[in-house]
Amino acid sequence: MDDMTVGITALGSAPLFAGLDREHLENILRFGQRVSFDAGQDIVRRGDPGDAMYIIVAGAAEVDVGGRFHRLGQGDFFGEMAVVAGRPREATVTAVEHLEALRIPADDLQAFLLEEPKVAVGMLKSLVERLREVQDRLDTWIGGVW
C-alpha cells in the first residue's frame, strides 16, 4: 500500500473523519506534513508556543493533564488548543509507541478548517469534551478543598 492509501485507511476509521469521502481524506492528507516520533519522545511541551496541531495516523500518545493521563490513538488530534487560542501549550503530549502523524502548521489551520467544515465541527465537539473534563477536575478539586 502506498502512503496515501495507508493514510486514508487510518483517517477513515477515526470518528473525527467519519462520513468523509476519499476526496476529502486526500485533501486532509495533502494539508499535513508527515512526521514521526519515537516512543518516549515529547511531541509538544506544556508552556511552549502553539506552532501546529497534529492528527495521529498510527501509534499512540499520552497527554499529561496535571498528573492524569489521556491516551490518544489513530485519528485523534492534539495541539489545537494553543493554536486556536494563541496561548502556550496546555499540556505535554508524549509518544508512547512509535507514532506517525500529520502536522498542520498554525498558519494553515484556518484555511484547513474552512475547507473541511465537518472536521471543524468534529473538533469543536472534542474541544467541548476536553473542557468538560477540565471542569470536572476543577469541581472535584474544589469539592475536596471545601
Residues at the interface with ligand CMP (CB under 6 A):
44, 50, 63, 65, 70, 78-82, 89-91, 93, 130, 133-134
Q: How far is the CB of 65 from ligand CMP (least distance, A)?
A: 5
Instruction: State the nearest-atom distance from the C-beta of 19 to ligand CMP, in Å.
Output: 22
CB-based contacts of 34: which residues, under 8 Å, 6+ apart?
3, 7, 57, 100, 101, 102, 103
For ligand CMP, the closer CB: 25 or 81: 81
Smallest Cα–Cα separation from 71: which of 51, 53, 56? 56
Q: Which of 35/65 has CB closer to ligand CMP?
A: 65
Among 71, 75, 54, residue whose Cα is nearest residue 62: 71
* Least CB distance to ligand CMP at residue 15 (A): 14
* Minimum CB distance to ligand CMP smaller for 8 or for 109: 109
Spell 32-59 as b/e; 16+ CB within 10 A means b: beeeebeeeeebbebeeebebbbbbbbb
Least distance CB 2 / ligand CMP (angstroms):
29
